A and B are shown apart, each in its own frame.
Chain A
Amino acid sequence: MYNERYQLNKELAQMLKGGVIMDVTNVQQAKIAEEAGAVAVMALERIPADIRAAGGVSRMSDPSLIKAIQAAVSIPVMAKVRIGHFVEAQILEALEIDYIDESEVLSPADDIYHIDKRQFNVPFVCGAKDLGEALRRINEGASMIRTKGEPGTGDIIQAVRHMRLIQSEIRRIQSLSKDELYHLSKDLQAPYDLVLYVHEFGKLPVVNFAAGGVATPADAALMMQLGAEGVFVGSGIFKSGNPKQRAQAIVKAVTNYNNPKILAEISENLGEAMVGINESEIELLMAERGK
């Protein structure tokens, strides 16, 4: 039964491919996101840029906010729980959330253990900086992976680093001989059967999205050309000058990521992008939460 449920959860992620998942903090933003062509929304009390600015402990959103957003849109609704906080996940499952993001954007609840996601019927997406981390999360039951680009910065450098690293590790595994995989599995701290899958198929066994720092249509297209199958946009939309127009442009950029002519058209007159913070200027590296 678990296997069939897990398969269905991986398949929901397949339906989201080529799409944009947008962070929203209220019903009005959720509707703007849906109208702009988002394939799902992430219901949050504060977007990452504001979480970063506010400091302190950040937690799962109020269920009433999540329910209001579920009632307002027809697309899937996701929400975040703290790393290792399985009770927050139980609560979201009780709300029949469509996807749980066990996220480094919130303050971690556990500095050793992630949630045992196999105990849940609802799907989980988790962040990963490298292949080992991605395979560990998949082994715990994640049915979708995303990069761990630095949230709330508008700086794409970390998402690029994670996506490039994962892709190059995949290419390297493909080139190894089968008997070398046992040792590699030890190095990656990831189970052998998942390493073998990557060796045979040249990809992760689940859908892999880009997340963190996407602020422009060009950022989104860059991540797609680097191998992302879709894009999460957090602060990039509702921290910009014209959220609706920017949201639509990023949606189109993800579909036509390989078409510079269309990218040029949709990048015109978008108003001000979110004010970014450079990687070197930030004190708190959220990507270092959870390994």
Chain B
Amino acid sequence: MRIGILALQGAFIEHQQMLEELRVTQFLIRNLEDFLQPMDGIILPGGESTAMLKMLYDLEIFEPLKSRILSGFPVFGTCAGLILLAKNVSNDSRRGFQTMDITIKRNAYGRQLSSFKTIGNFESIGHVPMTFIRAPLVESNQVDVQVLAQVDGGIVAVRQGNQLGTTFHPELDDDLRIHQYFLEIVSNYINK
């Protein structure tokens, strides 16, 4: 199994460290050449979605990655990464891959003063630490999107097929189980 981590900007090294702890082969994707290497799944990290989106286009990664996600390729987006997957963004005209049938609100809790940590229940895993940094919130989802976690009634983790997304940052805490959850999606995809 080989996982690519989009490394255009943001907290990609933190994801790399999680995968190293899980002893999974991984590599960073900074340009099209990196993207074309063989891989079985891709992680879209936290950071600024506007900056990542701009570079996805400039570096000509956007279209090939989008068609791969549409064909069922496993993808895991955290925070900005999930914004990139969302079909709709309620408070911004910019759109990413639009591959997941959710509407998301950017900076839903407010500015940095409203960033917070909590512990929440994650479907089939149990209680996990959750760190929200200027986080978005999933406002609505289509029926084939499974809700995996909620905090105070708001949706913070979702899955649609092989696409997994969290509005918080599992890569910032030391609990590996959400990454393991993604790796199971990847395993099933490889074995199909």
Write the nearest CB–CB distance from A38 to chain B, whole angstroms: 7
Interface residues of B in 1-55 (CB under 8 A from A): 7-14, 30-31, 46-48, 50-51, 54-55
A40 CB contacts on chain B under 8 angstroms: 48
Write the nearest CB–CB distance from B174 to chain A, whole angstroms: 12
Interface of B is mostly: loop
A19 CB contacts on chain B under 8 angstroms: 9-10, 47-48, 51
Contact of B110 with A by CB under 8 A? yes
Q: Which of the segments B113-121, B140-148, B182-190 contacts the partner chain?
A: B113-121
B131 CB contacts on chain A under 8 angstroms: 8, 11
Inter-chain contact B92/A15, CB cutoff 8 Å:
no
A248 to B50: give the CA distance in the assembly, Å: 13
A272 CB contacts on chain B under 8 angstroms: none
B80 CB contacts on chain A under 8 angstroms: 15
Inter-chain contact B117/A4, CB cutoff 8 Å:
yes
* Max count, chain A CB within 10 A of own CB: residue among B54, B80, B110, B112: B112
Given A12-B115, A255-B55, A259-B30 in contact, is the A18-B8 Cβ separation under 8 Å?
A: yes
A64 to B76: give the CA distance in the assembly, Å: 40
A255 CB contacts on chain B under 8 angstroms: 7-9, 30-31, 55
Write the nearest CB–CB distance from A232 to chain B, whole angstroms: 15
The residue that A39 contacts in the complex, of B9, B110, B113, with Cβ under 8 A, is B9
* Max count, chain B CB within 10 A of own CB: residue among A38, A40, A256: A256
Write the nearest CB–CB distance from B53 to chain A, whole angstroms: 8
Contact of B192 with A by CB under 8 A? no
B50 CB contacts on chain A under 8 angstroms: 34-35, 37, 74-75
B46 CB contacts on chain A under 8 angstroms: 15
Given A19-B51, A122-B112 in contact, is the A8-B11 Cβ separation under 8 Å?
A: no
Write the nearest CB–CB distance from B9 to chain A, whole angstroms: 4
- Interface residue tally of chain B, by bracket? 35 or more
**How many chain A residues touch B (Cβ–Cβ < 8 Å)?**
39
The residue that A76 contacts in the complex, of B54, B55, B58, B112, with Cβ under 8 A, is B112
Inter-chain contact A11/B133, CB cutoff 8 Å:
yes
Q: Which residues on B are within 8 Å of A, measured CB to CB?
A: 7-14, 30-31, 46-48, 50-51, 54-55, 58-59, 79-80, 92, 106-107, 110-113, 115-117, 131, 133-134, 169, 172
Q: What are 19 of the A-B contact pairs (CB < 8 Å)?
A: A8-B115, A8-B131, A15-B10, A15-B47, A17-B11, A18-B12, A34-B50, A37-B9, A37-B51, A38-B51, A39-B10, A75-B48, A75-B51, A96-B110, A96-B111, A98-B111, A123-B112, A254-B9, A255-B55
